[in-house]
A and B are shown apart, each in its own frame.
Chain A
Amino acid sequence: MLFHTTTRRSGLARAGSIAALALSVALVATGCAGGGSDGGDGGGDGDLSITFVPKNLGNAYFDTSDKGGEEAIKEFDGTYDEQAPAEGTPDGQVSFINTLTQQGVGGIVISANDPTAICDALNEARDADVKVVTFDSDTDPECRDVFINQADAEGIAKVQVDLISEQIGDAGQIAILSASANATNQNAWIELMKTELEASHPNIELVETVYGDDDDQTSFDKTAALLQTYPDLKGIVSPTTVGIAAAARYLQTSDFKGKVALTGLGTPNQMRDYVEDGTVTAFALWNPADLGYLAAYAAKALIEGDITGEDGDEFEAGKLGSYTVGPDQTVLLGDPFTFTKDNIGEFDF
Chain B
Amino acid sequence: MTETTTATVKIARSYRDYSAPLWRRVLLTRESAVIAALLVVVVVASISVDHFAQPITMTYLLLDIAPILLIALPMTLVIITGEIDLSVASTVGLSSVVLGTLHQGGMPIELAGLAALLVGAVGGALNGFLITVVGLPSLAVTIGTLALYRGLAVGLLGTTAVTDFTEFWKDLAKSKIGDTGVPSVMLLFLVLAVAFAVLLHFTRFGRGVYAIGLAAEAAQFSGVRVQQTKFILFVLTGTVSALAGIYYTLRFGSARGDNAMGLELSVIAAVLLGGVSIFGGRGSLHGVIAGVLLIGTLGSALRLASVTSDVINIITGALLIASVVSTSVLAWLRTRRAKPGGTARTTPAAPQ
CB within 8 Å: A-B pair count: 208
Contact, CB under 8 Å: A116 / B253: yes
* B239-288 residues at the A interface, CB under 8 angstroms: 248, 252-254, 256-258, 260-262
Contact, CB under 8 Å: B306 / A83: yes
Q: Report how far A115 CA is from B11 CA in the complex, Å.
A: 64
Q: Can you list 30 A-B pairs, Cβ within 8 angstroms, ordered by A?
A: A1-B343, A3-B11, A5-B16, A6-B19, A10-B3, A15-B330, A17-B33, A20-B34, A23-B37, A27-B315, A28-B41, A28-B45, A28-B48, A31-B298, A31-B302, A31-B307, A35-B306, A35-B307, A36-B306, A90-B252, A90-B254, A91-B248, A95-B300, A95-B303, A98-B60, A102-B304, A103-B304, A104-B51, A114-B252, A120-B253
Decide yes or no whether B203 CB sits under 8 A from chain A: no
* A93-136 residues at the B interface, CB under 8 angstroms: 94-96, 98-99, 102-104, 114-120
Whole-angstrom distance between the Cβ of B146 and the nearest chain A Cβ: 16
Mark B37-73 against chain A: 1 for CB-CB distance below 8 A, else 0. 1001100110011110010110010001000000000
Whole-angstrom distance between the Cβ of A326 and the nearest chain B Cβ: 25
Residues from chain A with Cβ under 8 Å of B309 in the complex: 57, 83-86, 92, 96
- For the complex of A and B, 9 pairs with smallest distance between CB atoms: A35-B305, A117-B252, A24-B37, A17-B33, A117-B254, A35-B307, A20-B33, A116-B163, A181-B159
Decide yes or no whether B103 CB sits under 8 A from chain A: no
Contact, CB under 8 Å: A7 / B37: no
Q: Report how far A182 CA is from B257 CA in the complex, Å.
A: 9
Write the chain B residue with the least CB distance to A29.
B44
Residues from chain A with Cβ under 8 Å of B327 in the complex: 16
Which of A7, A103, A187 counts the most chain B CB atoms within 10 A?
A: A7
Contact, CB under 8 Å: B326 / A16: yes
Q: Report how far A120 CA is from B8 CA in the complex, Å.
A: 61
Contact, CB under 8 Å: A95 / B350: no
Contact, CB under 8 Å: A181 / B252: no
With A12-B330, A21-B37, A37-B49 given, is the CB distance from A3 to B8 under 8 Å?
A: yes
- State which size class the interface on A falls in: 35 or more
Residues from chain B with Cβ under 8 Å of A39 in the complex: 50
Residues from chain B with Cβ under 8 Å of A187 in the complex: 159
Q: Report how far A8 CA is from B318 CA in the complex, Å.
A: 27
Residues from chain A with Cβ under 8 Å of B57 in the complex: 102
Extra 17 A-B pairs, beta carbons < 8 Å, given A13-B30, A35-B307: A6-B7, A10-B24, A20-B323, A23-B322, A28-B298, A28-B301, A29-B48, A34-B311, A38-B306, A58-B310, A83-B303, A89-B261, A89-B262, A95-B60, A114-B256, A117-B253, A182-B159
Query: Residues of B within 8 Å of A, CB-based: how many?
Result: 83
Judged by DSSP, the binding face of B is: helix
With A17-B32, A35-B306, A103-B51 given, is the CB distance from A5 to B345 under 8 Å?
A: yes
Which of B33, B36, B302, B337 counts the most chain A CB atoms within 10 A?
A: B33
Contact, CB under 8 Å: A31 / B315: yes
